[in-house]
Amino acid sequence: MAKYTDFLAISDYTAQDLSDLLERAHRLKSGEDVSKLTGKSLAMIFRKSSTRTRVSFEVAMTQLGGHALFLSDQDSQLGRGEGVHDTAKVLSRYVDGIIIRTFKQEEVEELAEHSSIPVVNALTDLLHPCQVIADLQTVVEEFGPEHSARTIAWIGDGNNMANSWLNAASQLGFELRLACPEGYDPDPDILDRARGLTTILLTRDSAEAVDGADVVSTDVWASMGQEDETLERAAAFETFVVDDTLMKRADSSAIFLHCLPAHRGEEVTASVIDGPQSRVFDEAENRLHAQKAILLELMG
């Protein structure tokens, strides 16, 4: 693998290096790879809530023989207005890597620019790359490593998850079909780039997106930071529900993915998320293995 300094977006990594990362995540999960980060420390900046990302990164560092520090806005100087520039320079003197979950992608980029240690994007309004690496690991576990043979359907908001799926499709060459309500399309630049690199369908019709697909994925209608828009989004997304009828249009061996947290009865029915095609808890577990692979590549 080429030596990367950060993991800010899937589009920064080549297809070969993404495949190597997924292969390593698989070996870490199976116990074949027992690499360590003994004595290394990871600062974890969270400016938004988290269950999976925080716990999986913290446990990953413990299991790798290192240590993780949780820094929230409530109890760090970031929350009182200290900029990421100084934070980057200070943390670089203490720890060996930083993960950050925040609002603006530019803040993550600024942090990386001023850090002399690796920075990992743990979710922004624009992207959620660690999640999509774990999702890809789950897809490979189910169907094997031939990414280009798969068709992925995304139902609902053109949000940080949809944008990261577009980046993954761009790099790995699989077909991605997105069904989004008007006004909730993915980021236009990320969409344009993906259209130049692989087969992308953007439709207003969930059934068209799902037809014969191998993977059906969705996410909440209102992401973190969009709580004020909950009511208007509920109206706009009313028909963008993953239910049994929609799943029947997918390939008979199709799986359902959701990054979680989920709202049963909104974007997905309980029968789908708790049903036999759902892989959501394997997907959540794979955060741990996929992120260990990322940390080892960057900090090892």
- Enzyme catalytic residues: 101, 128, 131, 219, 259, 287
CB of 199 to ligand NVA, least distance (A): 24
Q: Please, what is the angle between helix 188-197 and helix 160-172, to 10°? A: 20
Question: Taking CA 249 as the corner, what is the angle to CA 245 and CA 251, rounded to the nearest 5 degrees?
Answer: 130
State the binding partner of 272 from ligand CP, ligand NVA, none, CB within 5 to 8 A by kind: none
Window of 82-90, 218-226, 271-279, 292-300 that interacts with ligand NVA by CB under 6 A = 218-226
Q: Does 56 bind ligand NVA (CB under 6 A)?
A: no
Separation CA 104–CA 8 (nearest Å)? 12
Q: Does 161 bind ligand NVA (CB under 6 A)?
A: yes
Q: Does 187 bind ligand NVA (CB under 6 A)?
A: no
CB of 96 to ligand NVA, least distance (A): 25
Nearer to ligand CP, 73 or 211 (CB): 73
Edge-to-edge strand order for the sheet containing 119-121? Answer: 67-72, 41-46, 97-101, 119-121
Separation CA 163–CA 10 (nearest Å)? 10
Lay out the site mask for ligand CP across 47-66 (x = CB under 6 A, - = otherwise): ---xxxx-------------
Q: Does 11 bind ligand NVA (CB under 6 A)?
A: no
Q: Does 260 bind ligand CP (CB under 6 A)?
A: yes
Q: Which two tokens stand for residue 288?
A: 């741990």
Q: Does 14 bind ligand CP (CB under 6 A)?
A: no
What is the distance of C-alpha 46 from the center of its chain? 15
Q: Which residue is nearest to ligand NVA (CB)?
A: 223
Residues 6+ apart with CB under 8 A from 158: 178, 180, 184, 185, 186, 187, 191
Max Cα distance, the chain (Å): 55
CB of 245 to ligand CP, least distance (A): 26
What number of chain residues touch ligand NVA (CB under 6 A)? 10
Q: Does 220 bind ligand NVA (CB under 6 A)?
A: yes
The CB density around residue 248, as the number of other CB atoms within 10 Å, is 11
Amino acid type, 193: R
Return residues touching ligand CP (CB under 6 A). 50-53, 123, 131, 259-260
